[in-house]
Amino acid sequence: MTISRRKVLLAAGATAAAGAAGVELRIRSLGAEPPAPPLRGPGDRLLWRNWSGTEASYPALRAGPTSEDEVLSAITTGPAPVRVVGAGHSFTGLVPTDGTLLSLDGLSGIVDHDPTSHQATVLAGTRLGELGAALAAVGQCMPNLPDINKQSLGGAIATATHGSGVNSPALHAQVLSMRIATPALGILECSRTEHPEIFDAARVGLGAFGVVTRYRLQNVPSIRLLKRVELRPTAEVLEDWPSIRARHRNAEFFALPFTGMSATVTHDETDRPAETRVAPQDSQVLLDLKWLRDWAGFSNWLRRRLAQSAMSSLKPEESVEEAWKLLSNERDIRFNEMEFHLPREEQITALREVLAAIEARRPDVFFPIEVRSIAPDDAWLSPFHDRESGSLAVHAYYKDDYKFLFELIEPILRRHGGRPHWGKLHSLTARELSALYPRWKDAMDVRQTLDPAGRLLNPYLRRLLHDV
C-alpha cells in the first residue's frame, strides 16, 4: 500500500492553493547522519552503539559465553558493571557499560519441546525471527509477537516487549519457568512454585536481577492468520476502535499525522491456504510520508489535502500466512521512539491530545503513531501489571530532533496514567516509577538479594531503579 507521488503531484496541480504557493514549497535538506562517536575510545576499546544511535559505550571486556557456567563466571568476575546486550534495539541506556558487555548469541536455539503441551525450552540469546521458523518446524508458534522480530528472546522478555490484542498479554506472560545466573546466589531455576518471588520480580528484569539463560515457554499449535490492512479516516477509527479491537484476534492501528487518515491492521485465524503475497511496502510508505512532509510541510491544510487525494482510492490489502510470518514486520528505516502504556480507557483521549499537539507544533513529524492493546499479567515490573492497557508509540526519524518526545508528548502520556516501555525513551526515574508499580519495593528487595554489590547496575539503571 503506497502513496503515489505522481498522484500527489497531479492533485497539487489541480489545487489552486498549491499552485499559488508553488514558489514557497520548501524542500528540506536530506539531513546529515547524526554524529557518530569514534570507533575506538579510551584504552583503544571498540565502540558499542545501539540501533538508533542514541546510546554508546566502550566496554573494557566483551564476553560471548556459550554455557551457563561461562555466564556465571562473566557476571561474578568480569569488570563491572556487567550488562547484557541482545540486538541493541532498546532506545534507552540499559546496555552501555565501560565494564563487561555480555552477548548471549552463543546461547541460541530450542533445547527441547513437547508436542502434546506445545511447550518449548529456548535459550535466551535466540532471535525472535529465528525462533519463529524453529518453532514452526516442530508444529508450534508463539501466541503473539511484537512489531519487529530482530530482538533476542531474553532482551524482549526482560523489557516487557508486546504485540497487540485485547486477550494477548506481553511475551513474558508465556514464560512457565526460567534459569537465571545471579551474582550472589549462583544459577537458579525459577517458576511459580520454585523461587516464585524471583520469578515474579525478574521475569521483566532489565538484566538487573541476573542473566536469564533459558526459558520454558507455553506456545500454541501452529496457526495461519488472515492479515488485513485498510486506510480509513482517523475520526472513524477513533470512534470504532473499541469495536475493532474486540472483533479481532489481533488489532492495531497507525494514525498518520497531518493526513486525517489511519491504517488499521487486523489478524484473525483462518483455514484459507497460505498465499503468495506482495512484499510489505511499509518502508516505501514512510518515505512517501517523508516526501509529502518535505514538499508540503509549510501548510497543514495542503499536506492533508494532498495526502487524502493520494490515499482515497487505495484498496484494503489482505495476506494469509503462518502467524510468525505476519505478526512482525521489517523496519529498516531507523527512528527513535517513545511508548507509554495507559489504562485502556484513557488511550483514545490521550491519542487525540497527542495528535493535536503534533499537528499544532511539530510539522516535521511524519512517522505514524502506533496504537495497540495488551492484556494484563502479574509480573511485578510489567507495565501491564494488573490492568488492561492501551499503548501509544510516537516515533521520530533518526535524523530529526526527538527532544519533542520529552517536552511535548511525555507530559500528555504521564497525565493519563501511562507507564513507560522499559526499552523506549522516557525521563522517569525510581521516584516516579515506584509510584506506578504496586510491587516496586518487593521487586527491589529481591534485586538487592540477588545482586547486593550492584554489579549489574550501570549509571542509567541506578537512576531508574534506586535513586529516589
Can you tell me the mean pLDDT for 35-47?
94
Distance CA 7, CA 178 (A): 54
Distance CA 308, CA 303 (A): 9
Quick one: what percent of the chain has pLDDT higher than 90? Answer: 88
Query: Is 424:90 a contact under the CB 8 Å cutoff?
Result: yes
pLDDT of residue 8: 46
Burial of 19 per CB tally in 10 Å (0-12, 13-18, 19+): exposed
Assign residue 19 a region (left: φ > 0; alpha: ψ between -120 and 50; beta: otherwise).
alpha
Distance CA 322, CA 443 (A): 38
pLDDT in tens, 309-339: 999 889 999 999 999 999 999 888 999 999 9
Cell of 127: 532471535
What confidence tier does 296 reach under pLDDT thresholds 50, 70, 90? very high
Residue 370 has pLDDT above 70, yes or no: yes
CA dihedral 64, 65, 71, 74 (to 10 degrees): -50
Residue with cell 489545487: 15
pLDDT in tens, 430-458: 999 999 999 999 999 999 999 999 999 99
What confidence tier does 281 reach under pLDDT thresholds 50, 70, 90? confident
Pairing of strands 119-123, 110-114: antiparallel
pLDDT in tens, 376-395: 999 999 999 999 999 999 99
Can you tell me the mean pLDDT for 68-86?
98
Residue 414 has pLDDT above 50, yes or no: yes
Give the start-to-end residue ranges of the domains of the chain: 46-103, 110-221, 224-424
Please tell me the class of the 224-424 domain: alpha beta
Query: Is 277:225 a contact under the CB 8 Å cutoff?
Result: no
CA dihedral 87, 89, 91, 93 (to 10 degrees): -10
What confidence tier does 282 reach under pLDDT thresholds 50, 70, 90? confident
Check whether domain 110-221 has CATH 2.60.40.10, yes or no: no
Residue 22 has pLDDT above 50, yes or no: no
pLDDT in tens, 186-212: 999 999 999 999 999 999 999 999 999
pLDDT of residue 3: 52
Residue 159 has pLDDT above 60, yes or no: yes
pTM over 0.75: yes
Query: Is 276:318 a contact under the CB 8 Å cutoff?
Result: no
The residues near 442 (Cβ < 8 Å, ≥ 6 apart) are 197, 201, 380
Check whether domain 46-103 has CATH 3.30.43, yes or no: yes
Shortest CA distance to 350 belongs to which of 231, 464, 241? 241
Quick one: what percent of the chain has pLDDT higher than 70? Answer: 92
